[in-house]
Amino acid sequence: MKKAPDFNLEDQNGNLKSLKDYAGKWIVLYFYPKDNTPGCTKEACNFRDAREQIEIITGAVVIGISKDSVASHKKFAEKYNLPFPLLSDASGEVASRYGALNNFLVIKLAKRYTYLINPQGKIEKIYLSVDTSKHSQEIIDDLKVLKE
């Protein structure tokens, strides 16, 4: 298992968040291309709806990251009542360190990848092919197995 790259990014409320803020917890770190697009909205809302199961049953925290701005994240989180941090990786540096950056010549977007990070800060599982309608349940099922 590889150590998860650290980050220091602002969330939708302008608060700085880093990986070490979540030391000792399971982390569902998901990268997504763009706020307010159909697939990204579906994925975020499914994580929102599964939050109780993810956080209470498995003890994990959910964190979303895209290249969108703090202001864009704030509007997105408020519009869909998203109760977890959305981090702004405007430079794409963090997505790049995780291998989750698409580079379309002039446009760079985060890939739809998810990383399960264990309480010791190591990447336990990587999801490179995400079905937004089933992904949150897949995460819950895998967390239950990994925690045993």
Residue-wise pLDDT for 26-41, tens only, equals 999 999 999 999 889 9
The partner residues of 122 in beta bridges, in order of sequence, read: 3
Is residue 45 annotated as a catalytic residue, yes or no? Answer: no
Query: Are the C-beta atoms of 104 and 87 separated by less than 8 Å?
Result: no
Distance CA 41, CA 121 (A): 27
> Residue 136 has which token pair?
């949150």
Tokens 């209470």 sit on residue: 56
Distance CA 53, CA 105 (A): 40
Domains of the chain: 8-147 (3.40.30.10)
Residue 10 to residue 68: CA distance in whole angstroms: 11
pLDDT at 64: 97
Q: What is the pLDDT of residue 78?
A: 97
| Helix orientation angle between 70-80 and 38-49, rounded to the nearest 10 degrees | 60
- Of the residues 4, 19, 40, 95, which is catalytic? 40
Tell the residue number behind the tokens 């979303």, with chain if given: 64
pLDDT digits (tens, 9 = 90+) for 45-64: 999 999 888 988 888 999 99
Q: Which tens digits make up the pLDDT trace of 100-145?
A: 998 777 788 889 999 999 999 999 999 998 888 889 999 999 998 9
